[in-house]
């Protein structure tokens, strides 16, 4: 088995039956670390200190270099798979969704680093979010997320429409009630602002920056909260239940597959023996 | 097939087996847009700008005109249905709940626009909420909402009664405790105000405008929160479960109906062949 | 059928198969109204107005008079039931839990009203809460509340113990972390105060009067919130599920009973006919 | 039966079929009381009063003395179990997890008390938390906690990963949006601070110390709250359901065991009779 094949087995997540290869675990860890640093880099208390600045610079260079090497290795070793062999195959590989994400994970910052171009830090950082797609490939749960949404799409849409309706109607109601009752606050001065109140209330977040102050407004808000909280929680509940079902089924399917594989192996062993 | 029949098929939601006709989708979208504008119109940051004012005026005129034309078309084409044929049938159609909502969706504003009458903007806007009934006709989920409530009515009432009892008792308790413990705040100065605290706490919204400050009050509030949150969440949970069951059953019924229709079609095909 | 028997049928909730008699519905409504007035009476914006004061006085006298008459009627008509017949039977009736609650619902205020004794308003109002027991007799759901608690008592106790443990440990953790990190606020100055924070956070009420401000404190609080919210919601969930099961079973039992009654009636009818 | 055996039966929780011995109930109560005092001791309003100070000192000495005696009794009586007999057996007993916790529950404070060493009060109090392990041994629910986590570990990890992803992405989004929209607040000045907002929002705690103020930020936050709350509640829901299943199964297993025991006893009785 040549280097290319070994590299392919180590890098392609689909080349292994279950779990991640050590190389991919390392890449996964690196992405997580790079997100940790993305967060820390924006903190004034840290980036104003030269020592932390140095840490950020070094970690950035290291991450970009490794991702660049990883990209080259992925493209080269993709040839081990017949469908990506040859130049045309490589091109087909490189134009895939995940390959483009791999490229975006390091190229913009690499170019800026080399050319010293004066590009907004903000844009660079937004592009760095592309690395999240690198994780998505490794964690099947993200895949299950989409499947769960499709599975419950009709229920999800219905309950979401209902939740939005309740939020809108509640907001209009409190806009009228608080406005009529003479609340001169900014909070209920328009329906969009009242919607902000309704979302904060009906999701039970309740920041406390906006709340009714007139007796009638409080009475209406109390009724709305008591009744509406359940309706607005519907989409969340529907999704949670669909996602949990999806994950359970996948786990079951995996166990069944392993069982069949072991049975087939046992049968093959008996055949060999006889 | 005459124009009246074609119009009827395009406009009446019950004339199509499933889904909405393109015309009705457009109407649905228009209602949603009109609600968006209703919200934006109330925002001082927007309505004080002449350009936005122009947008609001034009959109209002457009929406009212379209709803008026739609109403005329609906009433005229209703004659395609034998039960609404003739003048008496049209009258029967026009006095239906949904037809009145269709009329209210544009008539008040049309009259004000034409006569230039000096009517409160607030009243006009409240009347515009009648448009929500236009949506209700198109989205069966709103129908399911009522069915879910009837289905779980006994459980809903019981749990709602319990929730209100817990809220009342908690409010009375904290009114006494905070009052006795010498909290001079406005917040717990009367039971109705304490009820506002109890609703905000037991729905877990927790704005933070009212909270106990004495040690004994906090102790009682902690116990109440720990125990009461579950009780007050009961009606929401009961409703969510009934609504989800209702939607699932409807989906199932629809699938069954389609299956039977396709079976009947297949049987008819075999009969034709034999 | 004498007056005593007719009165007994009208007053005793257990004398009717299902539902409440008109008299009891009236009593139930009166209790609810008296609770509404109890709340309104404490509101300074109302009790300082002479007209409202008059309303409160009249309603109080009316309620007390009716409850007194009801009590006399109940005690007298109880004799229609053989087990409460005679003087000794009446005494047995009067020393029952519900009868004592009936007495407490009007006697203290009646005595104060007649004697003009100078008794604290607070004490009188607390005693008025005894009227809640009058409702409890009419609404079987309150009975189901106790049954649901017994049914899930072991699960409830375990999950409550767990919730309290999480709250305590979270409070201790944040007391140490915020204290060490130099938070000079009052909020985390002692463990009991930190417990107030932990309850507000883990029940997701989140008033916002207390929250960690140091980075380490926020980090710990974030982890605690993410993990602990589910644990503290356990007792509420367990209770909700037990209560809902209990209500469902009772409804089923009632339907079964009615079915059997109608079957027995039908069988009796056939017997008569043959 | 000697004193050692009787002591062993009274002290070892596993020596009794079900429930706790009176001695262990007393120890359990003492641990709970010591945690109550740990909380009260930190309250400035109490520890500054000499009378409370005296109470704390006496209770501390009492608790430490009893725990020391309990430890000696446990180690000595452990010899009644053949596997801990002899000096080597005792050593094996003393190096167990629970025995070390028993030692830590009193030794540090005892040493400080005797030597008068100048040790930080904070360290001593943290060590006192070891007493929680003393409870864990007596309450099987804590055991069920671990079992429930193992049982749902795969689902828990997946949903936790998802929750953390949503929190991170929401934080990054609001950091950019509020930053771009010109919010000069401290609140969204860096991603770690935005994460604090995201945790408070998506767990629906919503302290209200941080919230978006720009229209775009509020729009994004509203969408995030509506969608994200369900995802972040997933791990809590998964855990709650696994824990409740675990407790139910254990209760069932206990009942089955008791049933079999009573059957075996009955069978033995019949055998004796025949």
Tokens, residue D111? 């040493």
Give residue A183's pLDDT.
Answer: 64
Q: Which residue of D has its CA nearest to B203?
A: D204
User: Is residue C207 within 8 Å of B206, Cβ to Cβ?
Assistant: yes
Provide the token pair at C207. 């008033």
B240/C contact by beta carbon, under 8 A: no
CA–CA dist B83, B79 (Å, integer)? 8
The two structure tokens encoding residue C183: 């938070």
For C193-236, the pLDDT digits (tens) are 999 999 999 999 989 888 998 889 999 999 999 888 888 888 88
Asked if D226's CB is within 8 angstroms of A203's CB, the reply is: yes
State the burial class of residue A70 (Cβ atoms within 10 Å of its Cβ: 0-12, 13-18, 19+). buried
pLDDT at B80 over 80: yes
pLDDT of B131 reads 87
Name subunits touching B (3+ CB pairs < 8 A).
A, C, D
pLDDT band at A16 (very low <50, low <70, confident <90, very high): low
What confidence tens digit (pLDDT) does each residue in B119-177 have? Answer: 777 778 878 888 888 887 777 667 778 888 888 888 888 888 889 989 999 999 998 88
Give the alpha-carbon dihedral of C114, C116, C119, C124, to 10 degrees: 40
The pLDDT, as a whole number, for residue D13 is 72
Among A162, A190, A215, beta carbon nearest to B43 = A190
Helix (H, G, I), strand (E, B) or coil at C243: helix
Q: What is the nearest CA distance from A150 to chain B, expressed in angstroms?
A: 15
Q: Token pair of B5, please?
A: 């029949």
A229 touches chain D (CB under 8 A): no
Q: Which of A158, A172, A218 is closest, CB to CB, to B129?
A: A172
Q: Do A132 and D227 touch (CB under 8 A)?
A: no
CA atoms of B73 and B12, how far apart (whole Å)? 11
Residue A220 has pLDDT above 90, yes or no: yes
Tokens of A242: 């669909």
> Fold for domain A139-274?
Helix Hairpins (1.10.287)
Range(s) of chain A covered by CATH 1.10.287.70: 139-274
Q: Do B172 and C199 touch (CB under 8 A)?
A: no
Contact A228, A152 (CB under 8 A): no
- Does D206 contact chain B (CB < 8 Å)? yes
pLDDT of B225 strictly over 80: yes
How far off is chain D from C129, nearest CA to CA, in Å? 32
Q: How far is D147 from chain A (nearest CA, A)?
A: 18
**Residue D142 and residue D101 in contact, taking contact as beta carbons nearer than 8 Å:** no
Where in chain C do CATH 1.20.120.350 domains reside?
Answer: 3-138
pLDDT tens for B228-264 read: 888 888 888 888 788 888 888 888 888 898 889 889 8
pLDDT, residue B18, reads 62
If pLDDT is split at 50, 70 and 90, which confidence band does A221 have?
Answer: very high
Answer yes or no: do D208 and A204 touch at CB < 8 A.
Answer: no
Q: Is the dihedral of CA B242, B248, B249, B250 positive or negative?
A: positive
- In this complex, the residue of C35, C145, C199 whose CB is nearest that of residue B225 is C199
What average pLDDT does the segment A240-253 reach? 83
Residues C41 and C45: their CA atoms lie apart, in Å, by 9
Highest mean pLDDT among B223-227, C1-5, C7-11, C235-239: B223-227
- Distance of alpha carbon A207 from alpha carbon D210, whole angstroms: 8
pLDDT score at B200? 93
ipTM for the whole complex: 0.86
**CB D40 within 8 Å of CB D60:** no
Say how far apart CA C127 and CA C142 lie, in whole Å. 20
Distance from CA of A100 to the nearest CA of C (A): 34
Q: Tell me if D98 sits within 8 A of D133, measured CB to CB.
A: yes
What would the pLDDT profile of C107-140 be if each residue is shown by its tens digit? 988 888 888 777 777 778 878 888 888 887 777 7
pLDDT at position D201: 94
Distance from CA of C167 to the nearest CA of D (A): 12
D162 close to A145: Cβ distance less than 8 angstroms: yes
| Residues C47 and C56: beta-carbon distance below 8 Å | yes
Rg (CA), chain B: 27
pLDDT at A187 over 80: no
**What totals of helices (H) and strands (E) does chain D contain, helices first?**
14, 0
* Mean of pLDDT over chain C: 85
Whether D126 sits inside 8 A of C176 (CB atoms) is yes
Question: Closest by alpha carbon to A213, among B187, B168, B201, B225?
Answer: B187
Q: How far apart are CA D188 and CA D193, in angstroms?
A: 6
Statement: residue B224 has pLDDT above 70: yes
In this prediction, residue C18 carries a pLDDT of: 62
**CATH 1.10.287.70 is right for the domain spanning D140-274:** yes
For residue B106, give the nearest of B52, B34, B29, B47 by alpha carbon: B34
If phi over 0 gives left and psi between -120 and 50 gives alpha, with beta otherwise, what is residue C138? Answer: alpha
Whether A243 and D159 lie within 8 Å, measured CB to CB: yes
**Residue B242 has what pLDDT?**
84
Question: Where do the CATH 1.10.287.70 domains begin and end in chain B?
Answer: 140-274
Q: Which CATH number fits domain D3-138: 3.30.360.10, 1.10.287.130, 1.20.120.350, 2.30.30.100?
A: 1.20.120.350
Residues of D in contact with B203 (CB under 8 A): none
Predicted confidence (pLDDT) per residue in A23-55, tens digit: 888 998 999 999 999 999 888 888 889 999 999
Of D155, D197, D151, D161, whose CA–CA distance to D177 is shortest? D197
For CA atoms D126, D128, D130, D135, give the dihedral sign.
negative
Residue of D nearest to C234 (CA): D240
- Give the pLDDT confidence of C26-73 residue by residue, as tens digits: 998 999 999 999 999 888 888 889 999 999 999 999 999 999 999 999
**pTM of the predicted protein model:** 0.87
| Residue D230 forms contact with B (CB below 8 Å) | no
Kindly list the distances between the CA atom of residue A261 and the CA atoms of A174, A253, A257, in Å, as whole numbers in the listed order.
62, 12, 6
Contact D181, D220 (CB under 8 A): no
Sign of CA dihedral A159, A162, A168, A170: negative
Residues in chain D with pLDDT values less than 70:
1, 14-19, 141, 182-185, 272-274
Reply yes or no on whether the pLDDT at A171 is more than 90. yes
Alpha carbon distance C161, B50 (integer Å): 63
Give chain D positions within 8 Å (CB) of A144.
158
Question: Which residue among A39, A192, A206 sits closest to D192, beta carbon to beta carbon?
Answer: A39
Segment B2-36, tens digit of pLDDT? 888 888 888 877 666 566 788 888 998 999 999 99
Q: C44 and chain A: CB distance < 8 Å anywhere?
A: no
Largest Cα span, chain C: 93
Q: How many A/C residue pairs have CB atoms within 8 Å?
A: 6
Q: Give CA–CA dist C200/C193, Å, rounded.
A: 11
Report residue A34 CA to chain centroid gap.
15
Q: Do C244 and B237 touch (CB under 8 A)?
A: yes
Chain C touched by D38 (CB under 8 Å): yes
């Amino acid at each position: 088995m040549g280097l290319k094949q070994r590299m392919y087995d180590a890098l392609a997540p689909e080349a292994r039956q279950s779990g991640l290869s050590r190389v991919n675990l390392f890449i996964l860890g690196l992405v997580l670390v790079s997100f940790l640093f993305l967060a820390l880099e924006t903190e004034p208390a840290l980036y104003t200190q030269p020592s932390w600045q140095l840490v950020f610079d070094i970690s950035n260079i290291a991450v970009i270099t490794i991702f660049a090497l990883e990209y080259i290795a992925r493209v080269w070793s993709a040839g081990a798979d017949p469908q990506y062999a040859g130049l045309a195959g490589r091109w087909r590989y490189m134009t895939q969704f995940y390959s483009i994400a791999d490229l975006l994970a390091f190229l913009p910052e690499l170019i800026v680093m080399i050319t010293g171009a004066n590009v907004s830090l903000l844009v660079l950082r937004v592009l760095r979010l592309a690395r999240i797609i690198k994780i998505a490939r490794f964690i099947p749960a993200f895949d299950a997320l989409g499947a769960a949404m499709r599975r419950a799409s009709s229920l999800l849409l219905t309950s979401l429409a209902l939740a939005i309706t309740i939020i809108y109607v509640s907001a209009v109601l409190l806009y009228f009630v608080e406005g009529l009752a003479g609340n001169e606050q900014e909070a209920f001065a328009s329906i969009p602002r009242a919607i902000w109140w309704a979302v904060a209330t009906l999701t039970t977040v309740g920041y406390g920056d906006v709340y009714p102050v007139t007796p009638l407004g409080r009475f209406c808000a109390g009724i709305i909260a008591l009744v509406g909280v359940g309706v607005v929680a519907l989409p969340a509940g529907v999704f949670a239940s669909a996602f949990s079902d999806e994950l359970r089924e996948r786990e079951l399917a995996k166990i069944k597959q392993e069982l069949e594989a072991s049975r087939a192996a046992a049968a093959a062993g008996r055949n060999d023996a006889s």
